[in-house]
Structure 1
């Protein structure tokens, strides 16, 4: 087993361990190594489940107030370490430092919210009927597995782990192999002061082997997953033989609708922010922009001005507002979508090619922030999630047309509406078939709001008062006194 303590990225039963094998984590902007992490397999995963099961009875019975206090203290530690955590995230994920720090601070707020929700996760007493009252008790589901993505490696981990812990569930975290480092550090901060086995972490380049081993064990009672739709549906199929609570937050194909009564400069700023944050590598990034015909000619230059102000580069460099794609597979998909759109009649209004860094050392998968005009609903970019910094623009005439086209997808995670007439905006919001709708703002994710999608974008919710429900079972008690 390697002796390098820096590869001890497995937390199992309260002990930090390494593994027989390790893997390299690289900076996606430079392709240079950042660190190495332990490469766990099924053996380590099942050891973590053993520890979680052993820790469950005591953590389940721990007072909600005590659990909340521990999580609140962890949130304070995250805030205190925000700068170093953000730098680590930028190094392994590539997003600009300001975005990374914002994600860290958002993670702390999510942990605070989870702590308070644990205090509020009470049952109820029903009116007397027959011989006595009825009770509805809330009980933690049991050991949980949190599978987190590379694009938001801090906030997704904290949101899942925080709610599980607040509910009384031990949780095993599996960070994405591209971004295990910031997840490991967050686990260190949260686990400090928790009983052994309550929070554990498994880093691996063999996610299928590790997850399959855990799914085959009926002691695992809950899975929370953020990632691709194909993988998420596979996790759901694993419950065919025995049911397990499964929360899924999967792909998106988010529309934005700019109505002709919108504040156009504000709408342009909002669309650009919602599209190009994290280089468009977000499940809630705007993928399709619908602009009403009367304001199209006035709106487009405002949008292009915002896009022209974006500055690609290394996320740690001052002034960078657009980092690289996570890998070249993502870049290939972006190029394929742009080439298909142009072939089918779209025009490149901005960008449209790989970005060539002006300084040596940047060898990652950079792509210029791109706007395509003349897009239609038959193009690949109209039917597939691009997951990159490319924004196709469509023109519409009637409000109902925009809603119909926006809903014409198998996905239903997030949608955006820009407009000023309250009744009109409300009608549009009410008819959009998406789990999250933002009105005149680019960032609709808040700890106090439930987050999740409809259709093939997922099931169950994280955040809000609904978030903790995914980790609790209801137990009915009928009493005769």
Structure 2
């Protein structure tokens, strides 16, 4: 794969395309240009969707082993190009290079996983009351999939959508976020190299208001899958309603971390810092609200603040590598700044961090330090809005029951974390927390073998695991009378 940014092109109907319009991309660590992405317009989105529609019948009809062989070849290509793609990802998104390398490798893992999972999707035969009546259930691909990814994990999240959709027999038109299109478009060469038939995979780039809206509204798109903000998800849902598209939405998070009095404290602190500040807090499952039982609140807070305050911040491609890079854009940084200032003005205490980093090493970039707040009340904006930045709020509670009640009171329900050494607390807590994923004494994120679902306003449907594959299959009942 070439490192020349002019080689980054769209993929439409099996062809690598340049366009007259260009989408500038900026390095969040410096504010300097990274490159330009070709910019799709609504007519090119229509061409891509129609190409996917034309390719669907033959792709869906391929025997599963033949179809999944394409996924395996693509995974091998990705593994051969990890370094240049990861460097592009760090340049446009800001995360440390080792995290970008892990994300690129996760793309190959997802494609290999769904290549191996596809043969295990089975139909069934249902017994009937008649000796001459046969009733069978088929699982068949739903059609053209429109996939829209976000900028925090642009490659990993897109792989969660593309790999199962393709394995199921669907064709796809995918759109990366406008902040981070270059690393996604770098994959176009891989799809061509893997030999995917023309129209099976299409990659188009541009703003959500044009490209995303065109995908959501197109009548030939039968399934729309999106990861991003809850507000945008609701907008896409309204647009998709006109054609009754299937929807998979993975939306806002803002996760709670509950620390019981008997928690393994050292682990809770280390894991909490990791999940609160990884990728500059720009994760849908980032720890935002920490509820600590009073008996260990002082010790936990002191350890947590010390760990946060000593994190190293800098360019993701620096050596030695920092613990945390910049935020992805000025708007994201301003949102975090506003939420912290609102809380501070209303009486919250900032224990560390709290304002944009300045100085020669940060000039031009969008750096916000790990920030810890206490004294936050339910009336402050930070209590009800997703921060999506490196900010954690510590609240002292009288019991785990109170913590669970507070954690369940919000509108999000993606991931929750509970630290305790008591089996009863862990078991009942996991059952009572109203979240699609509950982690006990760990902060693992989304991984392909395990289902990932958003409850309440954190989404619709399930990604990953076998559920992520069956999401792209329609159910068909076939009833045959043999006694004619």
TM-score scaled by length of structure 2 = 0.95
Aligned-pair distance for 1:295? 0.7
C-alpha contact 1:133 1:479 (8 A) present in aligned 2: yes
SS in 2 for 1:388: coil
SS in 2 for 1:242: coil
Question: Per the alignment, do residues 181 and 5 of structure 1 end up closer, same or farther by CA in structure 2, a change over 3 Å counting?
Answer: closer
**Cα distance in 2, alignment partners of residues 240 and 223 from structure 1:** 11
String of CA shifts for 1:407-429, please: whole Å, max 9, x gaps. Answer: 11111111111111122111111
> Any stretches of 5+ residues in structure 2 without a counterpart?
none
Partner of 2:45: 45
**Cα distance in 1, alignment partners of residues 107 and 77 from structure 2:** 11
Aligned-pair distance for 1:223? 0.6
Partner of 1:98: 98
Aligned-pair distance for 1:111? 1.5
Aligned-pair distance for 1:117? 2.1
355, 359, 362: which one pairs with 2:361?
Answer: 359
**Cα distance in 1, alignment partners of residues 458 and 192 from structure 2:** 31
Q: How does 1:71-470 map to 2 (within 5 A)?
A: 71-130=71-130, 131-192=132-193, 193-204=195-206, 206-318=207-319, 319-359=321-361, 362-470=363-471
**Cα distance in 2, alignment partners of residues 99 and 374 from structure 1:** 33
Question: Per the alignment, do residues 191 and 302 of structure 1 end up closer, same or farther by CA in structure 2, a change over 3 Å counting?
Answer: farther
**Cα distance in 1, alignment partners of residues 447 and 411 from structure 2:** 25
**Cα distance in 1, alignment partners of residues 394 and 337 from structure 2:** 17
302-311 or 125-134, larger mean C-alpha shift: 125-134
String of CA shifts for 1:59-116, please: whole Å, max 9, x gaps. Answer: 0001111122221221122222222221111000001111111212222211111112
String of CA shifts for 1:311-355, please: whole Å, max 9, x gaps. Answer: 111110123111111111111111111112222222111111111
Aligned-pair distance for 1:375? 2.2
Aligned-pair distance for 1:7? 5.9
Point out 4+ residue stretches in structure 1 off by more than 4 angstroms. Answer: none
C-alpha contact 2:27 2:33 (8 A) present in aligned 1: yes
137-146 or 252-261, larger mean C-alpha shift: 252-261
> Any stretches of 5+ residues in structure 1 without a counterpart?
none
C-alpha contact 1:9 1:203 (8 A) present in aligned 2: no
String of CA shifts for 1:229-249, please: whole Å, max 9, x gaps. Answer: 111111111233321111111
Aligned-pair distance for 1:8? 5.1
94-103 or 163-172, larger mean C-alpha shift: 94-103
C-alpha contact 1:117 1:465 (8 A) present in aligned 2: yes
Question: Per the alignment, do residues 352 and 213 of structure 1 end up closer, same or farther by CA in structure 2, a change over 3 Å counting?
Answer: closer
Aligned-pair distance for 1:191? 4.1
SS in 2 for 1:378: coil
Aligned-pair distance for 1:474? 0.5
Partner of 2:29: 29
84-93 or 120-129, larger mean C-alpha shift: 120-129
Partner of 1:60: 60
**Cα distance in 2, alignment partners of residues 421 and 129 from structure 1:** 51
SS in 1 for 2:477: strand
Aligned-pair distance for 1:34? 1.0
SS in 2 for 1:36: strand
Question: Per the alignment, do residues 133 and 268 of structure 1 end up closer, same or farther by CA in structure 2, a change over 3 Å counting?
Answer: same
Aligned-pair distance for 1:170? 0.6
SS in 2 for 1:238: helix
186-195 or 258-267, larger mean C-alpha shift: 186-195
**Cα distance in 2, alignment partners of residues 240 and 200 from structure 1:** 23
Aligned-pair distance for 1:267? 0.4
**Cα distance in 2, alignment partners of residues 457 and 191 from structure 1:** 35
Question: Per the alignment, do residues 191 and 357 of structure 1 end up closer, same or farther by CA in structure 2, a change over 3 Å counting?
Answer: farther
C-alpha contact 1:7 1:38 (8 A) present in aligned 2: no
Aligned-pair distance for 1:395? 0.7
Q: CA RMSD in A?
A: 1.6
